[in-house]
Chains A and B, each alone.
Chain A
Amino acid sequence: MSEFSVIGKSIAMVDSAGKTTGAGKYTDDFSLPGMLVGKILHSPYPHALIKRIDTSRAQALEGVIAIVTGEDAPNQYGILPVGHDETALAVGKVRYVGDNVACVAAVNEETAVRALEVIDVEYEPLPAYFDPEESMKAERDLIHENRPNNIEKDYHHVFGDPEKGFAEADFVAEARYLANEVTHAAMEPHCTLASFEIDPHTGKQGRLTVWSSTQVPYYLQHKLSLVLELPMSQIRVIKPLVGGGFGGKSEIIPLEIIAAVAARAAKAPVKITYTREEVFWAHRGRPRTIIDLKTGVKKDGRVTSVACKVIQDGGAYCSYGIVTILYSGALLGALYDIPNIRYDGFRVLTNKPACGAMRGHGTVNVRFAFESQMDEIAAKLSLDPAEMRCINLLKPPTVTVNGLRVLSYGLPECIDQVITRSGWKDRRGTLPKSRGLGMACSHYVSGAANSIIRSDMPHSTVNIKIDRDGGVVVYTGASEIGQGSDTMTAQVVAEVLGCSLSRVKVIAADTDLTPIDLGSYSSRVTFMAGNAALRAAEDVKKNIVSAAARRMNCSPEDVEMRDDRVSKRGTPLESAAGLPEAEAASGHVDGQILRGSVLQTRKEEGLKDNMSFEEAVVSAIDFHGGLTGTGSYAPPVEARGGKHKGAGVGPSPAYSYSAQVAEVSVDEDTGEVTVHKIWAAHDCGRALNPVAVEGQVIGSVWMGLGQALQEEMVWKDGLLMNPGLLEYRSPSSVESPEIECVIVESVDPEGPFGAKEAGEGSLAATIPAISNAIYDAVGVRLREVPFTPERILSALRAKRGMKKLEMTEGVDPTQPKKFREHGGSLWFRGKGPDRHPADSARQGALAGGGD
Chain B
Amino acid sequence: MKKELIELRVNGRSHELAVEPSKLLLDVLRQDLDLTGSKRGCDDSSCGACTVQVDGVPMLACNMLAASYQECEIATVEGISEGAGLAALQKAYGDFGGSQCGYCTPGFMMTVRWLLANNPDPSDAEIREALSSNLCRCTGYSQMYQAIRAVIEVERKGSNPELVGAKA
Residues of A bordering B, CB below 8 Å = 9-13, 15-26, 28-29, 31, 184-189, 241-246, 273, 275-277, 481-484, 690-692, 694-695, 698-699, 701-703, 705, 724-726, 730, 732-734, 736, 738-739
The residue in B49, B96, B137, B165 that gathers the most chain A C-beta atoms within 10 A of its C-beta is B137
A726, chain B: closest CB distance, angstroms: 4
Min distance, Cβ B161 to any Cβ of chain A, angstroms: 12
Q: Is the CB of B138 within 8 A of A244?
A: yes
Select from chain A the residue with minimum beta-carbon distance to B95: A12
Give the chain B neighbours of A244 by CB distance below 8 A. 100-101, 103, 137-138
Q: Which residue of A lies closest to B38 (CB)?
A: A22
In the bound complex, how far is the Cα of B140 from the Cα of A692, in angstroms?
13
Q: How far is the CA of A733 from the CA of B135 in the complex (A)?
A: 8
Instruction: Give complex CA distance A690, B96 in Å.
Output: 10
Of all chain B residues, which has the CB nearest A246? Answer: B137
CB-CB under 8 A for A17 and B86, given A22-B78, A26-B39, A187-B136: yes
Contact of A20 with B105 in the complex, beta carbons under 8 Å: yes
Separation of A494 and B113 alpha carbons in the complex (Å):
35
Residue of B nearest to A480 (CB): B101
Would you list the 6 A-B pairs with minimal beta carbon distance, nearest first? A22-B37, A482-B101, A19-B102, A702-B140, A243-B103, A16-B94
Main secondary structure of the interface of B (DSSP, over half): loop
Interface string of B122-150 (1 = CB under 8 A from A): 00000111011011111111111000000
Which chain A positions have C-beta within 8 A of B141?
702, 733, 736
Say yes or no: A482-B100 contact (C-beta < 8 A), given A21-B80, A185-B137. yes
Are the CB atoms of A724 and B43 closer together than 8 Å? yes
CB-CB < 8 A to A738: which residues of B? 142
* Contact of B168 (CB < 8 Å), options: A22, A25, A691: A691
Contact A189–B41 (Cβ < 8 Å):
yes
Q: Report how far A11 CA is from B91 CA in the complex, Å.
A: 11
At the interface, yes or no: B4 with Cβ under 8 Å from chain A? no
Interface residues of B in 78-119 (CB under 8 A from A): 78, 80-81, 86, 89-91, 93-97, 99-106, 109
Q: Find the residue from A10, A695, A698 having the highest chain B CB count within 10 A.
A: A695
Give min CB distance, A32 to chain B, whole Å. Answer: 13
| B44 → chain A closest CB, angstroms | 5
CB within 8 Å for A736 and B140 given contacts A20-B109, A186-B101, A692-B97: yes
Please tell me if the beta carbons of A22 and B43 are within 8 angstroms of each other in the complex.
Answer: no
B44 / chain A contacts, CB cutoff of 8 Å:
276, 724-726
Q: Is the CB of A187 within 8 A of B36?
A: no
Q: Is B53 among interface residues, defined by CB-CB distance under 8 A?
A: no
Structural contact, B132 and A733, CB atoms closer than 8 A: yes
Asked whether A699 lies within 8 Å of B138 as measured between CB atoms, the reply is yes
Do B137 and A187 have beta carbons less than 8 Å apart? yes
Other A-B contacts than A19-B105, A739-B140, 4 sampled, CB-CB below 8 A, are A13-B94, A21-B78, A21-B81, A186-B137
Q: Is B77 in contact with chain A by the CB < 8 A criterion? A: yes
Which residues of chain B from 13 to 53 have any CB-CB distance to chain A below 8 Å in the complex?
Answer: 30-31, 35-44, 46-47, 49
Does A726 contact B94, Cβ atoms closer than 8 Å? Answer: no
B103 and A23 contacting across the interface, CB-CB below 8 Å: no
The answer, yes or no, to whether B167 is at the interface (CB within 8 Å) is yes
